[in-house]
Structure 1
Amino acid sequence: MTDATLHTAISARFARKRLLSFALPGLVLAYLAYVFVAFDIAGLGERVSLANAATLVRDTYSYKTHVTRDNRDASVEIAIEGERKGQYAPGTAPAWVTLPEGADGDTVIDLGKGHVVTFGAEAVTYDIPGYGRIVTTPGRGGVDAELPPGPVPDWISVSKNRLAVTTDAGRLTVTRNRAEVFRYALGWELFFFTLDSPYHAMGWGELASRAMDGEAGAILSDFWTNSMWRHGDVAWALVETVLMAFLGTFGAAIIALPLGFLAAKNFAPLGALRFAARRVFDFLRGVDGLIWTIVLSRAFGPGPLTGSLAILLTDTGSFGKMFSEALENVDGKQIEGVTSTGAKPLQRYRFGVIPQITPVLLSQVLYYLESNTRSATIIGAITGGGIGLLLTQAIITQKDWEEVSYYIVLIVLMVMAMDTVSGWLRRRLITGGGA
């Protein structure tokens, strides 16, 4: 090859590499430009509501006490999160609500920081420090609102039929038939005991004293049957979630192990049999577990069993592929040693093959058990079982986001516990270590 020819070949190669080095970044930029337009990234700022996001975050670690007046008969109800299960008994109220002494008296709600709402006989007033007094008169024609002079602030929404005022102290909503105030407070109220429990508002010291006096069972029962937080139902939902993951994972491992021998070329000499077994594995793991969940729910109906079967089908495909690959890598000398003792085929598999692949099998099965514990949460939301169902119900209501955060915390703790247990089992069963 002459120098000119060599120079031409090298130049052409560098030209191709230069083109490739510019083409790849160009394709990436073109794709990002497409994503920017297709997903309307430019309009994201207009769609984002930081106020709603802040309210959502605040709802996860605080609760609202609703004070509601029926404008038709002037009756007042007070309830935690607006639920009847958290309703105050007639004539009782939190310290920041002053109930009327007579039939025609005013209900005064002190929201703190100088914010005071008054349910009067005819009008609803809201005194806001630094802004003034809002007077609202609901009637058959709608809501007549009188605001202090000047432009209407963004935190006030007023129309003919509705007035809504949102401040750092709380929120007031007035319509023709109802006036409602709610006030935020930190914590998960009624988490341990509801208002009708004799142990509500007791301190830890008094509860310990009652427990020592023989009321431990009653205290635990009131906590376990809490109608607001449903601790007993939540605990059973967690058990269902773990049970779905356990049955699905280990059921798949039991089914996949003998099928793995059919897909391993050193144990199944027939190519057609290996091909069929591997395509079955591809089909089972190629369909996502959520798809199997939807299909099986139509056949078997909702429930934890459907979730377990969905996990079983998906993991059978995954385990079958991994087990067959592990079987193809076994050491033939160990099998020959067992065969030399006169062992039968089943005995050769039991003592010559299984001990070699057991560490791989256990490691993969326990890892999938951890992963399926998380997956069972989503699957349970579809099949109507486990903690996933409770989480979905709490999200759909868009009201009690502290319950959502409670369930998420439990899910995280459950996954952490499964990780700890599976790690301990791996050390005990695979390496024989106890630490």
Structure 2
Amino acid sequence: MSNAAILTETRGLFRRKRLVAAAIPAMVLAYLVYIFFAFGVPEMIRTADTKNARILVSDSYSYKTHVTRDNRSGDIQIAIEGERKGRYDAGTGPSWVTLGETTEILLDEGHIVLFGPEEIRYDIPGYGLVTANPGRGGVNARLPGGDVPDWINASKNRLTITTAAGRLTITRNRSEVFRYFTGWELFFFTLDSPYHGMGLGEVLGHAVSGEAGAIWQDFWTNKMWRHSDVAWAIFETILMAFLGTVGAALIALPLAFLAARNFTPLGAARFAARRLFDFLRGVDGLIWTVVLSRAFGPGPLTGALAILITDSGTFGKIFSEALENVDDKQIEGIRSTGAKPMQRYRFGVIPQVTPILLSQILYYLESNVRSATIIGAITGGGIGLLLTQAIITQKDWEEVTYYIVLIVLMVMVMDTLSGWLRRRLIHGKPA
């Protein structure tokens, strides 16, 4: 072949490679464009409500104090997050609420709301005075002249004013103001605790004076944040993951010998074992959770069984592949001593695969702690159930943040513990 022919063939080869190199990114880009429109991303962006997103984010790190007036009786109730468990005693309230025949509510930026015997007044700096006389005929709201701003929603039977200072909602039967504050109020002590409102130094002083048990009891039995229930839920989540993972390992190990080519010469037995593993791990853990919850009812045990079934298939495949890669020389050495089959497995096989098995078991234990959170939401157990309940209420998003923080911390602790155990058990190093 002449040099010209070689040069022509080489150029053609490089041209084809350049085309392939350019075609692959182009295909990926075309696929992403297709997904962008097929999944309705433009419509999702168009209908996205940034206002609700900001409210959601602010709810995660702040709390609301509600001041509610019964328009029929004139009774005033003040409660943190609007909950009965966070309600102030009658005739009491925060410093920014002045109770009386006309209740004055001071909001941020000079906003003032007055709950009078008959009339509700909201003085909004830069806009004017909004009044309402709720009754059987409706809210009867009166607004300043001009166009109604988008932060006021007014109808015959409802008036809602949402500003950076707070929100006022008036219906025929009830008027309510709530104001945001940064932090997680009542996280340590509820309003009925003698330690509510105390600083850290003052609380420590009481603890040193012999009240440590009472302080811990008030914190542990907090009705708003339910610390004792949350701690038990975390324990249930870890227990589900532990029982499911360890149980699956104990079941999968003997079955793995049946699926390993070098330990089971009978092809039919190997085929049956491998197809069993495929079936168990082929059905997702969430599906097993739904099936088992219908069969055995809700509870953490159902979640543990779901993890056990799924991981039995996964461990069976991993363990059988590890067994097929063992060194036969070590087994032959044990055989030469006259050892029986079970002794050959115990001293010639298990020591070889133990590092792999332990590493996989500990990894899946860590992973299953995360999975148990979702499974617990379905089976009615663990921190996943509390998280789901908090999300469904769409009221106390700071609790949702609290549970998510705890889940992340739990996963971090399990990751650290799993790594320490791997180093300790496999390499013999404590750190």
Matched, 1:67 2:67: yes
Instruction: After superposing the two structures, state which structure 1 stretch, 305-314 or 17-26, moved more.
Output: 17-26
In 2, Cα distance between the equivalents of 1:434 and 1:24? 48
In 1, Cα distance between the equivalents of 2:413 and 2:368? 13
Matched, 1:56 2:52: no
Aligned residues: 431
Alignment partner, residue 150 of structure 1:
146
Cα RMSD between the aligned structures? 1.8
In 1, Cα distance between the equivalents of 2:201 and 2:348? 63
Q: CA deviation at 1:247?
A: 0.3
Matched, 1:302 2:298: yes
Q: CA deviation at 1:160?
A: 1.2
Three-state SS of the structure 2 residue aligned to 1:143 is coil
Three-state SS of the structure 1 residue aligned to 2:134 is strand
Alignment partner, residue 256 of structure 1:
252
Q: CA deviation at 1:27?
A: 3.7
The amino acid of 1:216's aligned partner reads A
Alignment partner, residue 370 of structure 1:
366
Within 5 Å, give how 1:26-425 maps onto structure 2.
26-100=26-100, 105-425=101-421
Q: Are residues 2 and 249 of structure 1, via their aligned partners in 2, closer, same or farther at CA, if it must alter by over 3 Å?
A: same
Q: CA deviation at 1:30?
A: 3.8
1:189-217 Cα shifts (integer Å, max 9, x gaps): 11111111122112222222222222211
The amino acid of 1:254's aligned partner reads L
1:297-344 Cα shifts (integer Å, max 9, x gaps): 111110001100110111111111111111111111111111111111
In 2, Cα distance between the equivalents of 1:368 and 1:317? 13
1:136-171 Cα shifts (integer Å, max 9, x gaps): 121211112111222111111111111111111111
In 1, Cα distance between the equivalents of 2:214 and 2:430? 40
Three-state SS of the structure 2 residue aligned to 1:180 is strand
In 2, Cα distance between the equivalents of 1:374 and 1:22? 40
In 2, Cα distance between the equivalents of 1:394 and 1:327? 46
In 2, Cα distance between the equivalents of 1:9 and 1:213? 92
Three-state SS of the structure 2 residue aligned to 1:181 is strand
Q: CA deviation at 1:41?
A: 2.0
Q: Are residues 14 and 210 of structure 1, via their aligned partners in 2, closer, same or farther at CA, if it must alter by over 3 Å?
A: closer
Instruction: After superposing the two structures, state which structure 1 stretch, 26-35 or 307-316, moved more.
Output: 26-35
Q: Are residues 109 and 372 of structure 1, via their aligned partners in 2, closer, same or farther at CA, if it must alter by over 3 Å?
A: same
Question: Which TM-score applies when normalising by structure 2?
Answer: 0.96
The amino acid of 1:427's aligned partner reads R
In 1, Cα distance between the equivalents of 2:418 and 2:19? 51
Q: CA deviation at 1:34?
A: 2.5
The amino acid of 1:56's aligned partner reads L
Runs of 4+ more than 2 Å apart: 1-34
In 1, Cα distance between the equivalents of 2:199 and 2:99? 26
1:215-256 Cα shifts (integer Å, max 9, x gaps): 211111111111111000000000000000000001001111
In 2, Cα distance between the equivalents of 1:357 and 1:242? 26
The amino acid of 1:402's aligned partner reads E
Structure 2: where are the runs of 5+ without partners?
none
In 2, Cα distance between the equivalents of 1:300 and 1:160? 52
